[in-house]
A and B are shown apart, each in its own frame.
Chain A
Amino acid sequence: MQTLSKVWLFCALLLISSVASANLTIEITRGSDQALPIGVVPFEGGEGLPEDIAQIVQDDLERSGMFAPLARNAMFERPSQASDVQFGTWRSLDVRYLVVGRARQTGSGFELQFELMDISGQSRMIGETVTVSGNDLRGAAHYISDQVFEAITDIRGAFSTKIAYVTAQGVGDNMQFGLYVADADGQRSQQVLTSDQPIMSPAWSPDGRKLAYVSFETERPAIYIQDVSTGQRVQATSFEGINGAPAWSPDGRKLAMSLSKDGQPDIYVLDIGSRSLDRVTQSNSIDTEPAWSPDGRSLIFTSDRSGGPQIYRTPVNGGGADRLTYTGNYNARARFSPDGDELFLIHQSGRGYQVARQELDGGRLVVISETTRDESPSVAPNGTMVIFATQQGGSGFLSAVSADGRSSFRLPAAQGEVRDPAWSPFLN
């Protein structure tokens, strides 16, 4: 009994250490020359708070690639409300927009007030009082970022979203895998699953509450569906052969996937409720990596039916598949932009495997990443950024690039390799 409790203690320590090391830290790798200059003034009353609200907002905006925040030490005035803002001061600093605010502790949490000023127009654009219950100051800060971003760009902010990703350490038969969920800025990571067998291909349900993923924990691949907050999960499929690449239908009722139970991997659609399985493709080639069109009517997938891997599209009900990519010999793992007009995919260029963008129907293919060992692109729900896994200097980490390729950042982990990112849908 004593040994057992020691084992448990050991396990508990393992758990804590792995959770602590799983946060990812943002490094901006490329800023856009078209970024809008903005000032985010430290919030009045924010000094004693556990989080620096203005810093989180500033980092969010900078990460989007659309904003170039003014350094704090250049702010020689620190207004906290619209009526205190001296427009001339900020204009002389070449700032186009200014965020000011105040924070105070309440009985049950915090209250944040913020206002967004248009410096060139000398006007107040928006303002709001945000009530924070408990200690979710980071969540409130991301909410403010969303409001500021949308007021200026007319694009819904995606700072309050999450990313799921897989970690891996070790080699060969001696490996540890983890599935994590973190804020879109890599912070507040939470462990969803650990295993000494591979974990792959996490995919968010459209309501953002569940993850489908592939786990080899039974020493062969099976697809699981897990509720992220409760941890409850079910095994969705465990057919002979490959059970891979799960993708939720936009209505959340079905999973497209790749199964090799009938020979070479083909695309199938599982109705989660009724458990009925429909075969979508029937080919003597590899068909995998399905993704649903936003209208739910068609699936795109990777197939090597023409030799090397290329992207094809088929109606969900089956029927013929059209080839969508023709540039180069290797195009795989495509994902739709939220409006369904474009594809983001992995393209083998002269330099290596890179993230590329292509208009759906035969448009020109444009490489948007600068790294050359890229995998698993996943598009932000507002379509502005693509997160992907890459490798450089022997370590694997997550990176993101703006959809136009102008700006990028990376999210390295403290240790081990990070891969297979999945950007959540909007969560509120």
Chain B
Amino acid sequence: MQLKPLVRSLAVALSVLAVAGCSSTGGTQDGDAYGSQSGSTAGAGTGSGVGTSGTGQYGSTSGGAGQQADSRIPEVRTIYFDYDRDSIKSEYESVVMAHARYLQSNPNARVTLQGHTDERGTREYNMALGERRARAVQRFLNIQGVSPSQMSVVSYGEERPAVNGQGESAYSQNRRVVFSY
């Protein structure tokens, strides 16, 4: 039982090395990408990478830059939710759209949508709330034309907080769906 984390961290270390070789920007881990930033700034940061031109316009892909971006897994892989909500906030639609384009351009890619909640309330009930969030993203991607076979959903409920601590600043970072490739 104790061997597993060791093997896992080794695997993570190897994959980080591998990724570092082909990507100029590090931080493929969600935790790394968000450790010091708040959700909204991280969301805004995607604007440069994955054309936010058509805000509110689903399905319309942009030109050359967009094509290039679609060959890489979008860097922003976490979106955040309001308390007790599973609706995708408008500020994160561009992020989900970028993943939709990537998955459509790469039919062999598979994503696991990991749903999370903050710590308030009971554990198993939160497991169900986390699943609702992940399924909301799954539905959104599906509507965008992503094949169901490319997506799976796992809820972690409140079991894997992104940050420890109480108060809205911690809670808001924990209510999230992570795109895990």
Contacts and interface: CB of A to CB of B under 8 A. Distances in A.
A289 interface: yes
Given A241-B131, A288-B128, A171 B159 contact: no
A264 B120 CA distance: 21
Given A196-B4, A201-B123, A289-B125, A242 B160 contact: no
B159 A172 contact: no
Contacts, number: 119
Interface in B1-17: 1-6, 8
B156 A172 contact: no
Contact of B29 (A171, A173, A219): A173
Contacts of A219: 154
A195 B125 contact: no
Interface stretch (B50-58, B65-73, B92-100, B161-169): B161-169
Interface string B119-130: 111111101110
Given A173-B31, A173-B160, A420 B5 contact: no
Interface in A221-235: 221
A196 B5 CA distance: 6
A7 interface: yes
Interface in A166-194: 168, 171-176, 193-194
Interface hub of B153, B159, B162 (most chain A Cβ within 10 A): B159
B51 to A, nearest CB: 29
Tell me the interface secondary structure of chain B in the complex.
mixed
Given A216-B156, A391-B166, A330 B5 contact: no
Given A172-B31, A198-B156, A11 B3 contact: yes
B4 A195 contact: yes
A302 interface: yes
B117 interface: no
B162 A172 contact: yes
24 contacts: A11-B6, A14-B2, A171-B31, A171-B161, A171-B162, A172-B160, A173-B30, A176-B5, A194-B1, A196-B8, A198-B159, A221-B127, A241-B153, A244-B127, A244-B128, A245-B124, A288-B128, A289-B122, A302-B124, A302-B125, A333-B123, A353-B120, A376-B123, A394-B165
Interface of A: 7, 10-11, 14-15, 168, 171-176, 193-196, 198, 200-201, 216-217, 219-221, 241-242, 244-245, 258, 260, 264-265, 286, 288-289, 302, 304, 309, 330, 332-333, 346, 348, 353, 373, 375-376, 391, 394, 419-420
Interface of B: 1-6, 8, 29-31, 119-125, 127-129, 131-132, 153-157, 159-166
